[in-house]
Chains A and B, each alone.
Chain A
Amino acid sequence: MLWYKAWLDTRWRFLLGLGLLLVFACGTVMSFPTVQELVSSVSPSAISGSEDLRQEFEESVELMRTFRGYVWLQWFQQNFSSLLTIFAALLGSGSPLVKSGSGALFSLALPVSRGRWIAARAGAGLAELLVLALVPNVAFAALAPFVGEQLSVGEPLVYGACSFVGASVLFAVAVFISSLVNDVWRPLLLTCVVAVAIGAVGLALPEGHGLFTAMAGGKYFEDGSLPWIDLLVSAAVTAGLLYAAAANVARRDF
């Protein structure tokens, strides 16, 4: 019943996210032919600028030539991470026991510990996030034939799983902040700020590390191996934040 209530509270956000991601995924697939044309008509030598910039540009163009590379670069590395992060923050914002919420006093009167409320909300949120992380990506394998390409189902799902682990961290950040403040918007805003900060930190870290890099599953793309350390650290941080959120809620006065 607690999970049902969590679903009721977050279903519109979830469905919005699912809808948007599916549309974007399909859009990405369908734009491939156009992108391919663009890419083949551009020569690297036409780009003026620094050597690094030219090199990066060359690499990108090279990746874009193949469908697999295009999917990884355009979708997983660029759009998907940001979108999933935003929805992770959205799903995690707003505690089930928030003071000004409808029915908070009623929830608190039920013979259920506060920890269970938070656990149900976190569990439902993570399940929804997993669906958001995996389902849209099935679109790539499913729709590839429409643009004359092929892609295995497994690969996007792996990227999706990595993205899920990374996005969970931001989800947990939102849940944690929600255990301290009483509204829905401040956790959302603050989590996005944290996400930007993490991204900035990631840029400063050595190549191959950083939350968003791990989310994109770059390593897997290149050599088929997973960034296990990054993933484990992310999972641990997620667990820690959720536990702290439950402890906060258990402690406070309403």
Chain B
Amino acid sequence: MIIETADVRKTYGNVEALAGLALRVPRGAICGLLGRNGAGKTTTIKVLRGMVRPTSGDARVFGLKADDSQASVEIRSRTAFVSEDKDLYAGMTVGALVRFTAAFYPKWRADLASTYLEQFDLRSDATINSLSRGMRTKLALLLALSTGAELLILDEPMSGLDPAATEDILQILIKQAARDGTTVLFSSHQLAHVEQVADHIAIVDRGRVVIDGALDDIRASYCRIQLVFDGQAPEATFKSHGVINVRRQGRVLSVLSHGGHEGVVAEARSLAPASVDVHPVALKEIFLEAVGVEN
């Protein structure tokens, strides 16, 4: 595990931002960090960055403690961060900022920097505050990728970008992960982006990780069983383990199940429905279910 946190808590005054967070990100994964606003995604990232010290608990990156100042410097020399508002030195030129940043990373990849400068069409003499939001995101990403970091942590990297720019960014992340085995952790509100490129996800709700693991495994473990009856659907309670909820609508009974649906299907057949269909569940539904939103 390149990132591993155990029971991390963070309290601001009397607000508990993190309430026992256990996040695990394996090396080489592209992990999507999902959650509602205020769920604790940004606080989690801040803890990993060493910006914020947890009230209690253990947060480790590369096995090093994130709240130890010296270890945090070591972590930051091997990790690149892109914050949500792409906060950069407004007055500097692009070229100056690239040279400035390069000085801090011994493993700086000048070849990547010049490749991306050209690919993104960024002029070295342009001042940063003259760049559009999309260009600033690309510059922030360029800097992050050129550090030669083993881990990239991105907070809402695609916010404010048009679809074309978004696709560019996603492609670059894919490329980097595939070519150098860089681990990527990115928080996002766009489930479609996460589904497209992530192979792992972690869903954060109310300061805790409620679901985490390989995306395919998670998706496979959920299914919706649709029972259609000739008459009115019966009021049925399912004893099988793993039934999350049951909905009745006229002649249809819809069962959301997690983790092994065979038992549920068997129970369902005992109700003698006219048809039994098993459908996969979209990530959106899994997410809404995990964060407790009534559908």
Interface string of B71-88 (1 = CB under 8 A from A): 001101100110101011
Decide if B105 is an interface residue (CB 8 Å cutoff): yes
Residues of B in contact with A (beta carbons under 8 Å apart): 46, 49-53, 69-70, 73-74, 76-77, 80-81, 83, 85, 87-92, 100-101, 103-105
* Pairwise interchain contact B73-A111, C-beta atoms closer than 8 A: yes
Partner of A5, one of B46, B70, B100, B105: B100
Q: Which residues of B contact A1 (CB under 8 A)?
A: 100, 103-104
Identify the closest chain A residue to B52 (Cβ): A253
* Pairwise interchain contact B74-A253, C-beta atoms closer than 8 A: no
Stretch at the interface among A101-109, A121-129, A229-237: A101-109
Task: Show 22 A/B contacts (Cβ-Cβ < 8 Å), sorted by A.
Answer: A1-B100, A1-B104, A5-B89, A5-B100, A102-B87, A102-B88, A103-B90, A105-B51, A106-B87, A106-B88, A108-B51, A109-B81, A110-B101, A110-B104, A111-B73, A112-B76, A112-B104, A113-B70, A113-B73, A253-B52, A254-B46, A254-B51
Decide if A209 is an interface residue (CB 8 Å cutoff): no
* Pairwise interchain contact B88-A253, C-beta atoms closer than 8 A: no
Interface string of A1-43 (1 = CB under 8 A from B): 1001100100000000000000000000000000000000000
* Pairwise interchain contact B104-A114, C-beta atoms closer than 8 A: no
Between A and B, how many residue pairs show CB distances below 8 Å?
A: 60
* Pairwise interchain contact A103-B74, C-beta atoms closer than 8 A: no
Q: Which residues of A contact B87 (CB under 8 A)?
A: 102-106
* Pairwise interchain contact A111-B53, C-beta atoms closer than 8 A: no
Q: Which residues of B contact A114 (CB under 8 A)?
A: 69
Known: A105-B87, A111-B77. 12 other contacts (CB 8 A): A4-B100, A102-B90, A103-B88, A103-B90, A105-B81, A105-B83, A105-B85, A106-B88, A108-B50, A111-B105, A112-B104, A113-B70
Q: Which residues of A contact B53 (CB under 8 A)?
A: 253
